[in-house]
Structure 1
Amino acid sequence: MLKRLQRQPWTCPQCIRHQRDVGKRRLVISSNAKGAAAAAAVADDYRPASRAAPSIAHDDRTLRQIFDSPHVWKEFSSKKKHHYRGKSAGLFQNRYLTHPEGFQDFAAVTLTKCKRIVAAVLSYQTNDELKRVARALDRLSDLLCRVIDLSDFVRSVHPDRKVQAAASQAYASMFEYMNVLNTTTGLNDQLKRAAAIPEVYNSWSEEERTVAAILIKDFSKSAIDLAEIDRQAFVEISNEVAQVGNDFVENMAAEKSILYFESSRLKGMDPLFVRQMTKWGSVSLPTVGMPATIALRAVEDANTRREIYMANRTSSRTNLQRLEQLLKRRAELASLSGYESFAHMTLTDKMAKSPEAVTSFLDALAVENAPRAKDELRQLLEVKKSDARAGTLPAEMNAWDRDYYTAQLMSTLRSKARMPDFLAAYFSLGTVMQGLSRLFHRLYGIRLVPRETLRGESWNPDVRRLDVIDDHEGHIAVIYCDLFERQGKSPNPAHFTLRCSRRISEEEIHEAAEFSSQSGSLFATASEAANDGLATNFNSRDGNALYQLPTIALICDFSLPPASNSNRPTLLSFREVTTLFHEMGHALHSICGRTALQNVSGTRCATDFAELPSVLMENFASAPEVLALYARHWETDAPLDPSRIQERVEVDRRMQGAEIESQVLLGMLDQEYHSRSPLTWADGGDGRESTKVYQSVWNKYSLVPEPAGTSWQGFFGHLFGYGATYYSYLFDRAIAGKIWRDVFQRAPGGATDPAAGQLFREEVLRHGGGRDGWRCVAGALGDRSGRLAEGEKGAMEEVGKWGVHS
């Protein structure tokens, strides 16, 4: 399809369990001698990989200050507010978006450009004209994305309802036009015609060939090759899948929402917490959510835990019916399109290629993980044996026992590791951002430079703008950092690409000059008009051609500094530090994946490749040589002893085997649900069919059998957004672990080794989605056997054998 869907923010298991730490501290400048010495040590320790820019040290200090001090940020960001003489520069400096009505102007101008391209492509006849098809359709896709991606983001984050409504209207109008284009057979015919002519195909760059293949597959998946009656059926089923899928996710609930207990049965839970749920002498315990989770970890009575577990894992029958309808319709959609199953249809353009390859990967990973998972289970059984309340079967681990004894074991480990909340004192938000910039500079020769926002450029005063500067290429990207909590804001961390990298042709600049003359003084130059006012720069890697720069929004939900002490910054828990590193990994992919075509820019790559840079970045958060770049105490500036982080990491990974086993089970279940089997299910089922599959997978692969009667699949929301691709996160974790060990830990200090960074940037990051993921992995690992580069089932199995060790 011409508009490739934006990557949905992945919610990993760690994020689901994540609870933000409270009681954070803020920065005050230490005036004692020890603090001064430590500060001097920081300055001396920071030796930039390149001294190409004389302002590096100044930018480095300013970066920390604008995130740690609201006062400094207010002063810094007001420097250019006098420009435009009170006029808005437009959201993201998009000159159309200076007022709500501008969204409609933006959409209208874009629509005019799109229609010109469509008319031109449909008129192509000669080979020279057909050589332009791939690039023309990529630009058409880019124009759609410019409006759809930006409007979708603005309508979800902007506080002004008029702006929200205007953005929603622009989004809807362009989305409707996109659906028209996706069923315009002439565009598909012209693309296939061009790709079938050797002279045309051979003239295309690797990126153009990749984009052409992507668009041909996307057209095919939208049933454009089917007869009219079948195409109409495809559209109807697709609409039903979208509606039912959304209903499934929004209505996840337990069959029994409340359990009633005498308070004595909840012994082990915090009495104050229990009292909050008590009325008329009875405790009303919600079966889903934090109360049930806490109860399963804390309640001493095994029979009570069993009752809670069964209710917590039994989905509402109505939602199970929705799930079965979703899976059945997806199977019908695949069959209508000529695929054996929905998984086969979905995986054709992924690294895995087929469900058989996914199963091969998961089987190999399960075998590799089994010894670790069994050892962890043995440890839990040892804890249970020492429990006088374990009953007559202390040698067996029941499903409702696992969380309880895991909590006991982890409590003991954390106590031995002496890990109070002191770690947050070393991670002010400013120092972490400073550390990320220093790390990027050492590894990739790029750094984060604070930039004043113009009037109207951002959607909230707390949003900081950073320009990404390359030592050799100059300005290469823009990041808008919306990192602080506020009412109504989504708590989920995420990375959004608002505008992709793409080469702007001379023809577009001439076209922009024409539009600019019609729009009066909206744009100062034709180059500015060509990108709607957003950032551009010349790309020395591509003959100094003009490029639109990746424009990124980074969203987190960190606590604001307490108003009572303005000198203290926001302090992050180590889990929040890791989250920020993860999201910056996505941003890094967008920043460095500066391709000439937007369909393969940055994170626009195969779903099972998209998480690799972000998962890899998590490893850097705890590496001693990286901690040395930034982890300083907010009061004394004393460096953090890296062994304290290693203690924390070791504890967090202590039960990793069980977590991987759980993710393998979910990956297996996802594949089973998206096989051909739903075609045999009756319409309007009551959940029995999907429950049979769920119970079968769990009891075949799990070390702890699932009790009969549960139907947890009704809570598996990722089945909608990641249908047939849930394995991706484990897959990328396995690859990231291998690259971490073989590239960045090959020698002491490897996490800050410029040679390692250059290798990863050149082999993986810079290609975005323009190079097959297997070739990227093979290049980074120096694999000369050819097995990895070829991909296929054998390569998937090999990745599974690497295991997940991070």
Structure 2
Amino acid sequence: MYTRLQARAWTCTRCLKQQRIAKRHLITSQSSREATATAAALSEDFHPVSKASTSVNHDDRTLRQIFDSSSFWKDFSSRAKPRHGEQSAGLFQNRYLTHAEGFQTFAETTLRKCQKIVQRVLACDSVEGYKRIVKDLDRLSDLLCRVIDLSDFVRAVHPNPRIQSAASHAYSMMFEYMNVLNTTTGLNDQLKKAASISEVYNSWSEEERTVAAILEKDFSKSAIDFADTERRAFVDISNEIAQVGTEFVDQGAPAIPSLTFDSSRLTGMDPIIVRQLTRWGTATLPTSGMPATLALRTVADAETRKEVYIAHRTSAPENLARLEILLKRRAELAQVSGYESYGHLTLADKMAKSPESVVSFLDALARDNAPRARERTHELLALKKADPRAVGADGELHAWDRDYYTSQLLNSMRSKKREPDFLNAYFSLGTVMQGLSRLFHRVYGIRLVPREPLPGEMWNPDVRRLDVIDDHEGHIAVIYCDLFEREGKSPNPAHFTLRCSRRIGEEELHEAAELVSQPGSPFSSIEQAANEGLATNVNPRDNNALYQLPTIALICDFAVPPPSSSGQPRPALLSFREMTTLFHEMGHALHSICGRTALQNVSGTRCATDFAELPSVLMENFAAAPEVLRLFARHWETDEPLDPARVLERVEFDRKMASAEVEGQVLLGMLDQQLHSALPLSWREGEVGQSSKVYHDVWRTFSSIPEPAQTSWQGFFGHLYGYGATYYSYLFDRAIAGKVWRDLFQRRPGGAVDPEAGRLFREEVLRWGGGRDGWRCVAGALRDQDGVLARGEKGAMEMVGSWGVYD
């Protein structure tokens, strides 16, 4: 329960749906079976709303217009402005959240439901009671996440300080209760007892068994099985890790904040920037941030670049001390928990299973990448030898030469080809969203349907709501798209889960019927009360059981379009990179959309960390596929279709430089593994810089260009805290995604829009969420159910590494 009850900013996806249903009067004595039948009947009446027509073509046109035409969006969203006397529908249509005080009511109501479940689980003493214990604990987790995930999102994005404050209070209230549950030994004891009864265990579905194992491990992460002394030690170490880790991330700084030069030594750098840095002929260059990066790319003098490089990559001793305390405490935590190292503790429930397997994967990937890395190094060295400013140099390529000659190489490549920036005229935000919907419809049988916002539903007027409609199953998800920049908004693209897929049980429907019948109830139907007003629908895959639907929020930071010189309203135009980013984030959403699991602990992106990026990385391949580009890429003014060959030029341009990125990621992955081994246990307290030896050992082994001995870049590697022992995951999923793309979606011409390939990927990967071992998902998609992949051992990791990350 420990892990699953914590909010996850990077991965989560949820969705919501408003039903068009007649108001019914319900009485408390209605049986739960009648409540189920009523809810199913109401869902059958639902039709997704578009502006006027429900036709596919109309929805398709409307989808483009709501993102590309501000006047169309203003008209389409006019219902979001409450009319005189009209009541708010509540944020996300949560009927409690019609005003700031509603967060308190939402949290208190949820808390009472949680307490009732806890009492029932602790009092359980029958086989029938133990059979339902996984569902009870999963619902308990879901109730907590309903408040924690939604409140965490609202306090981060809502512009109203009162609502931010109310959301923060609700978050804290439920998070505190969650921590109490994590140390409630009775819950852990009852779960273990249930799993030990063969009649009970054999009655559970595969999904229930998976969730039981997840919850047991989550309880163990709270040291719930420890004696009092060990538990106190565990809690003390965990608290220190959290404090020191946060400080390490927040306070990273170079040992020398700035360097001073005669301004002439910065020749080659943008003169405007040099003037800004110069006073009385002396330039003061910060050693962190963009000025240092620009200097390394553009300054002609090698000695100056060397000074900048070393200062730029040498951490302040104070932050090295924080890092080394963090790493040593993590090693101690693992030891207290009975593991050889923190890496072993963290990876036990991941696809990799062990640090040894991760190293095997990274080794194999490094071998695959080495020829390309050497080729690129030779290209850069050739440029240096041809550089008249480098005459008399030692004939070697140094670390401070890399960015400078890479920049020259890129400039020479750009001069031979048309600049790629022209592509954005073909990627208006509306056409890209239209393209995503068309792609999803052809490949997965689902489409994105614009939905008129209701009063109070959105946190900002620029937010668009899309319902996800399946050709066979109807409404299956909701996506809130907050895609435009604004003051105070985070610039980082992100994907949030606000509510997970989950089956709503008969007992819940009976409770909902009682809620509806109460005087002053904010709910007008059983379905509303069962999910607080958020979206529900029946699931034909599960005997038409009622499900809460995933509710997802996508956040991007696209520029608001400037006025056009022609007078024609200009839509937001995306660069190729921005378009690919949107495809990536929609890949996360797709995982939750198609993963309609009965239990929320394994819904969508709630899966192993090293499996979570597979759908999103795979989606990046679709962004450059000619058959996909033909679905949508048209000039925003002329409607001229884009020649896919132009995108191929850009892809080849990026691929040319990819070996350096892969090498860099391998280095960081290896460093992450080495620093989270048992090695920090041998470090002496108070002796700063012991991690530097590990850093330089890794660079000597895997880097194609030597690193200066003075540097200590590990002190800037903030992901060591957030991704401790799992930094390899992106490369790992990128290698798998490349293989799936080649073998499944490119095995025949036009494969990127092949519905058979989409069906296989949806059935073998997407629909399972975290309810199936990731290796079995990958093996199923690649039609290798009985081979090395399905077993998922060290050999499987080495095989994935040998695939590389290139097409």
Q: Please indicate the TM-score interval, normalised by the length of the shorter structure.
A: over 0.9
- Report matched runs for 1:200-349 at 5 Å: 200-349=200-349
Contact 1:581 1:621 in 2 (8 A): yes
Contact 1:385 1:394 in 2 (8 A): no
SS of the residue aligned with 1:401? helix
Cα deviation for residue 280 of structure 1 reads 2.1
Structure 1 residues 572 and 645: CA distance shift in structure 2, 3 A = same
Equivalent in the alignment of 1:796: 797
Whole-Å separation in 2 of the counterparts to 1:572 and 1:80:
27
- Report matched runs for 1:342-421 at 5 Å: 342-393=342-393, 395-421=395-421
Whole-Å separation in 2 of the counterparts to 1:504 and 1:7:
23
- Report matched runs for 1:114-263 at 5 Å: 114-263=114-263
SS of the residue aligned with 1:252? coil
Unmatched tracts of structure 2, length 5 or more: 12-52
Contact 1:523 1:529 in 2 (8 A): yes
Whole-Å separation in 2 of the counterparts to 1:182 and 1:242:
17
Contact 1:83 1:454 in 2 (8 A): no
Identity between Structure 1 and Structure 2 (%)? 72
Unmatched tracts of structure 1, length 5 or more: 11-52
Structure 1 residues 164 and 598: CA distance shift in structure 2, 3 A = same
- Paired amino acid for 1:108: E
Equivalent in the alignment of 1:532: 532
Equivalent in the alignment of 1:567: 569
Equivalent in the alignment of 2:770: 769
Contact 1:481 1:554 in 2 (8 A): yes
Contact 1:483 1:558 in 2 (8 A): yes
* 1:623 equivalent in alignment to 2:625: yes
SS of the residue aligned with 2:693? helix
Q: Deviations over 1:147-172 (max 9, x none)?
A: 00000000000000000000000000
- Paired amino acid for 1:132: R
Aligned residue among 665, 675, 678 for 2:677: 675
Q: Deviations over 1:227-273 (max 9, x none)?
A: 01111111111111111111111111111111111111011111112
Equivalent in the alignment of 1:22: none
Whole-Å separation in 2 of the counterparts to 1:185 and 1:659:
47
Contact 1:441 1:447 in 2 (8 A): yes
Cα deviation for residue 516 of structure 1 reads 3.5
Q: Deviations over 1:696-735 (max 9, x none)?
A: 1111211111111100001101101100000000000000
Runs (4+) of structure 1 moved beyond 6 Å?
none
Equivalent in the alignment of 1:33: none
Whole-Å separation in 2 of the counterparts to 1:616 and 1:651:
19
Equivalent in the alignment of 1:723: 724
Whole-Å separation in 2 of the counterparts to 1:417 and 1:628:
22
Cα deviation for residue 532 of structure 1 reads 0.5
Structure 1 residues 489 and 119: CA distance shift in structure 2, 3 A = same
Q: Deviations over 1:763-793 (max 9, x none)?
A: 0000000000000000000014421011011
Cα deviation for residue 7 of structure 1 reads 3.8
SS of the residue aligned with 2:284? strand
- Report matched runs for 1:691-770 at 5 Å: 691-770=692-771
Cα deviation for residue 379 of structure 1 reads 1.0
- Paired amino acid for 1:435: G
- Report matched runs for 1:75-90 at 5 Å: 75-79=75-79, 81=81, 85-90=85-90
- Paired amino acid for 2:136: A
- Paired amino acid for 2:162: K
SS of the residue aligned with 1:400? helix
Whole-Å separation in 2 of the counterparts to 1:263 and 1:222:
56
Equivalent in the alignment of 2:30: none
Q: Pick which of 597-606 and 393-402 moved more.
A: 393-402
- Paired amino acid for 2:709: A
Contact 1:427 1:633 in 2 (8 A): yes
- Paired amino acid for 2:760: L
Q: Pick which of 539-548 and 226-235 moved more.
A: 226-235
Contact 2:484 2:556 in 1 (8 A): yes
Cα deviation for residue 84 of structure 1 reads 9.0
Contact 2:761 2:781 in 1 (8 A): yes
Structure 1 residues 584 and 213: CA distance shift in structure 2, 3 A = same
Cα deviation for residue 458 of structure 1 reads 0.7
Contact 2:478 2:551 in 1 (8 A): yes
Q: Deviations over 1:189-247 (max 9, x none)?
A: 11111111111011001110000000011111211110011111111111111111111
Cα deviation for residue 9 of structure 1 reads 2.5
Whole-Å separation in 2 of the counterparts to 1:682 and 1:455:
61
Equivalent in the alignment of 1:38: none
Contact 2:82 2:88 in 1 (8 A): no
- Paired amino acid for 2:218: D
Contact 2:7 2:148 in 1 (8 A): no
Cα deviation for residue 6 of structure 1 reads 3.9
Aligned length: 764
Structure 1 residues 54 and 452: CA distance shift in structure 2, 3 A = closer
Q: Deviations over 1:330-355 (max 9, x none)?
A: 11111111111110000011000000
- Report matched runs for 1:485-500 at 5 Å: 485-500=485-500
Cα deviation for residue 418 of structure 1 reads 1.2
Contact 2:735 2:804 in 1 (8 A): yes
TM-score (norm 1): 0.93
Cα deviation for residue 421 of structure 1 reads 2.1
Whole-Å separation in 1 of the counterparts to 2:519 and 2:663:
59
Contact 1:249 1:720 in 2 (8 A): yes
SS of the residue aligned with 2:220? helix
SS of the residue aligned with 1:189? helix
- Paired amino acid for 1:256: I
Cα deviation for residue 277 of structure 1 reads 1.2
Whole-Å separation in 2 of the counterparts to 1:130 and 1:718:
41
- Report matched runs for 1:575-614 at 5 Å: 575-614=577-616
- Paired amino acid for 1:623: A
Cα deviation for residue 439 of structure 1 reads 0.3
- Paired amino acid for 2:629: L
Structure 1 residues 685 and 147: CA distance shift in structure 2, 3 A = farther
- Paired amino acid for 1:788: L
Cα deviation for residue 287 of structure 1 reads 0.7
Structure 1 residues 784 and 151: CA distance shift in structure 2, 3 A = closer
Whole-Å separation in 2 of the counterparts to 1:473 and 1:393:
68
Contact 2:89 2:455 in 1 (8 A): yes
Q: Pick which of 276-285 and 195-204 moved more.
A: 276-285
Whole-Å separation in 2 of the counterparts to 1:517 and 1:189:
37
Equivalent in the alignment of 1:31: none
Equivalent in the alignment of 2:19: none
Whole-Å separation in 1 of the counterparts to 2:85 and 2:408:
63
Equivalent in the alignment of 1:665: 667
Cα deviation for residue 81 of structure 1 reads 4.5
- Paired amino acid for 1:118: V
Q: Deviations over 1:416-435 (max 9, x none)?
A: 12125211100000000000
Whole-Å separation in 1 of the counterparts to 2:83 and 2:522:
15
Whole-Å separation in 1 of the counterparts to 2:551 and 2:785:
36
Cα deviation for residue 393 of structure 1 reads 3.9
SS of the residue aligned with 1:552? strand
